[in-house]
Amino acid sequence: MKAEKSPIQSVMSWIRRQPPKVKAFLGVVSAMTVLVFLRVIVHEHDNLFIASEAVHALGISVLIYKLTKEKTCAGISLKTQELTALFLAVRLYCSFVMEFDFHTLLDSATLVTTLWVIYMIRLKLRPTYMEDKDNFAIYYVVIPCAVVALLIHPTTRHHIVNRLLWAFCVYLEAVSVLPQLRVMQNTKIVEPFTAHYVFALGIARFLSCAHWILQVLDSRGRLLTALGYGLWPLMVLLSEIVQTFILADFCYYYVQSLMGGQLVLRLPSGVV
Q: What is the per-residue pLDDT across 203-244, written as a single tens digit (0 to 9) for each?
A: 988 888 888 777 777 766 565 565 566 688 788 888 888 888
Question: Which of 27-41, 79-93, 197-211 has the lowest average pLDDT?
Answer: 27-41
What's the pLDDT at 129? 93
**What φ, ψ does residue 157 adopt, rounded to 5°?**
-90, 5
Residue 69 has pLDDT above 60, yes or no: yes
Nearest alpha carbon to residue 226 among 167, 179, 156: 156
Percent of the chain exceeding pLDDT 70 equals 75
Q: How confident is the model at residue 107 (pLDDT cuts 50, 70, 90)?
A: confident
Task: Name beta bridge partners: 190.
Answer: 265
Higher pLDDT, 123 or 45: 123
Collapsing DSSP states into helix, strand and coil, what is residue 265? strand
Mean pLDDT of the chain: 81
Model pLDDT, residue 205: 87
Domain boundary assignment for the chain: 46-263
Q: Which residue has the higher pLDDT, 5 or 58?
A: 58
Residue 168 has pLDDT above 90, yes or no: yes
How many C-beta atoms surround the C-beta of residue 21 within 10 A? 8
How much is the pLDDT for 89? 94
Task: Give yes or no for a contact between 78 and 167, defined as CB atoms under 8 angstroms apart.
Answer: no
Confidence tier at 35 by pLDDT (50, 70, 90): low
